[in-house]
Amino acid sequence: MGAVSEAESGREFGLLVLPGDGIGPEIVAQTLRIVTWFGNYLGVQFKIEHALAGGASIDEQGAPITDAVLEKALRADAILFGAVGGPKWDHLPRADRPEMGILRLRKDLDLFANLRPAVNFPEIVAASSLRPELVDSIDIMIVRESTSGVYFGEPRGISTDESGFRRAVDTQAYNETEIARVCRAAFEIARRRGGRLCSVDKANVMETGVLWRTVATEIGLEYADVELSHMYADNCAMQLLREPKQFDVIVTDNLFGDILSDEAAALSGSLGLLPSATLNMTDSNRPGRALYEPIHGSAPDIAGFGMANPLASILSFGMCLNYSLNEPAAADLLNRSIRLVLGQGLRTADIATAGDDAVSSAAMTDAIIAVLGEISVGSQRMRQA
Ligand code: IPM
Ligand code: MG
């Protein structure tokens, strides 16, 4: 990654915004205030377009995402996604549910590398269910394959067998190209971080696991500077709880990545603070098509109150600054501002502990913008084109 810096000033950047359902629209609205701030700071002209996805799209357009929106997504420089789903649509058959919106975006845009950081924010270490000394400085990046595997494999379906019993089938399938490209993405990331990559599979019982391990090892030969290890997925689930600090980058398939990334997020204690990026990372120097979304879901129970934690969505835009805009210093500025605001004691309800007064989504964002203004003085890069 890197090397995207086009013209140094007057840059345009097309951002497709898909707020989705539940708290999605609320947190995305706050994030767009941060986008505006960085537009001024960096001299980038964000061309923002809104569209529907998930349940909102089902209600208005009869499908969790339309071809027209997928077209826009293909043309955008990046997508800012909120969250989808809610009880209103739970009765729908699987293929028509809001979740299909995000699955189709990943598949149709070929966003195969899903980057899910699990970091602990020392300011809220008490929110973890593990002892502080186990999690106080974890910094794990899970790279989850996100366009193949058992969530997409054919054949699949529920039918009735000869004895009249219902029978369900899902297919876990990977070809070597799919494994190789996500492993390569993970090696590239590991190379820029702690230099250690743990590939996770079930090679002891699954054919896809055997191929996964073989291909990961082959790709490893191209990355002599990265230390590659292998771990079974069940052991990894246990090791994440036992000694999470042993991990730097983890690469794994779609199903294991879905599960392990939730586990890692929860142990960090900061589910409401964790962002993600899903990239078509075919060229190590360019992130390619990219979608940024918080790891948490649509939280319908707290939607509409203006109390949701906007930080995961804001930090997802931080990943966009880093990967799609190639502005790591700006991403770092945003991270530092958030830490300072947490350090001041500001808490939304999800991360508040007894005795804290919880602030609204908007108040949290106000505070970040104020701190951004303070700590960027002197380094203002506003370039009037
Ligand atoms: C995630 C979610 C999705 C997934 C759902 C909403 C389809 O759990 O992004 O981890 O399973 O990939
Ligand atoms: Mg999940």
Tell me the average pLDDT across 183-206: 97
Ligand nearest to the CA of 22: 1
The confidence score (pLDDT) of residue 270 equals 78
Q: How far is the CA of 262 from the centre of ligand 2 (A)?
A: 6
Average pLDDT for 76-88: 97
Residue 251's pLDDT is what? 98
Query: Percentage of the chain surpassing pLDDT 70?
Result: 95
Give the per-residue pLDDT at 9: 56
- The answer to whether the CB of 99 is under 6 A from ligand 1 is yes
pLDDT at 382 over 80: no
Chain segment 100-120, per-residue pLDDT in tens: 999 999 999 999 999 999 998
Question: Active-site residue numbers?
Answer: 151, 202, 234, 258, 262
Contact 194, 248 (CB under 8 A): yes
CB hemisphere CA count around 252 (13 angstroms) = 26
In a domain, 329, yes or no: yes
- Ligand 1 atom nearest the C-alpha of 258 is 10
Q: Read off the pLDDT of residues 301-347 as tens digits, 9 standing for 90 and up.
A: 999 999 999 999 999 999 999 999 999 999 999 999 999 999 999 99
**CB 145 less than 6 A from any atom of ligand 1:** no
Instruction: Provide Rg for the chain, Cα atoms.
Output: 21
Please tell me the distance between residue 130's alpha carbon and the centre of ligand 1 in angstroms.
24
| pLDDT computed for residue 351 by the predictor | 87
Name the band, by pLDDT with cuts 50, 70 and 90, for residue 124.
confident
Establish if 141 belongs to a structural domain. no
For residue 378, is pLDDT > 90? no
Is 55 a member of any domain?
yes
Do 94 and 168 contact (CB within 8 A), yes or no? no
Mean pLDDT, the chain, whole residue set: 93
Q: CB-based contacts of 184: which residues, under 8 Å, 6+ apart? A: 219, 222, 284
Here the CATH number for the domain that contains residue 30 is 3.40.718.10
Q: Which of 12-21, 39-48, 197-206, 351-360 is the least confident region?
A: 351-360
Nearest CA to ligand 1 atom 6: 99
How would residue 225 be classed by pLDDT, with cut points 50, 70 and 90? very high
Please give the C-alpha separations between residue 207 and each of 113, 168, 297, in angstroms, as whole numbers: 22, 20, 32
Please indicate, yes or no, if residue 178 is contained in any of the structural domains: no
Pocket test for ligand 1, best of 92, 103, 145, 262 (most atoms within 8 A of CB): 103
Residue 115 Cβ inside 6 Å of ligand 1? The answer reads: no
The pLDDT, as a whole number, for residue 6 is 44
Residue 179 falls inside a structural domain: no
| For range 173-194, the mean pLDDT | 97
Domain extent, residue 293, equals 1-128+269-385
The pLDDT of residue 139 is above 60:
yes
Lookup result for tokens 């790591």:
328
pTM: 0.93
Q: Which of 32, 88, 85 is nearest to 298 (CA)?
A: 85
pLDDT at 381: 57
**What is the spatial distance between Cα 229 and Cα 206, in angstroms, rounded to a whole number?**
18
* Shortest-distance ligand to the CA of residue 83: 1
Domain assignment present for 210? no
Nearest to 34 by CA among 330, 293, 346: 330
Could you give the CA distance from residue 20 to residue 298 in angstroms, rounded to a whole number?
8
Task: Please give the average per-residue pLDDT across 171-175, as a whole number.
Answer: 98
pLDDT band (50, 70, 90) for residue 385: very low
**Could you tell me which residue, 86 or 354, shows the higher pLDDT?**
86
Say yes or no: CB of residue 103 within 6 Å of ligand 1.
yes
> For residue 292, what pLDDT is reported?
98
For residue 102 and ligand 1, the question of a CB distance below 6 A is answered with yes
pLDDT at 370: 98
pLDDT band at residue 122 under the 50/70/90 scheme:
confident
Site to substitute for ligand 1 among 65, 99, 296, most atoms within 8 A of C-beta: 99
The answer, yes or no, to whether any atom of ligand 1 lies below 6 A from the CB of 53, is no
Residue 241 Cα to ligand 2 middle (Å): 18
State pLDDT tens for residues 11-45: 999 999 999 999 999 999 999 999 999 999 999 99
Identify whether 366 is part of a domain: yes
Q: Using an 8 Å Cβ cutoff, are 198 and 236 in contact?
A: yes
pLDDT of residue 1: 41
Ligand 1 atom nearest residue 261's Cα: 10
Residue 7 pLDDT class (50, 70, 90 cuts): very low
Is residue 295 in a domain? Answer: yes
* Residues of the chain above pLDDT 90, percent: 85
Give pLDDT tens digits for 234-293.
999 999 999 999 999 999 999 999 999 999 998 888 788 999 999 999 876 666 899 999
Q: Which of 81, 84, 102, 104, when mutated, tests ligand 1's pocket best, judged by the most ligand atoms within 8 Å of its CB?
A: 102
How far is 56 from 176, CA to CA, in rounded Å? 37
CA-to-CA distance for 185 and 165, rounded, in angstroms? 43
Q: What per-residue confidence (pLDDT) applies to 353?
A: 81
pLDDT > 90? residue 10: no
Per-residue model confidence (pLDDT) at position 3: 41
Q: Give the total number of structural domains in the chain.
A: 1
Pairing of strands 139-145, 113-119: antiparallel
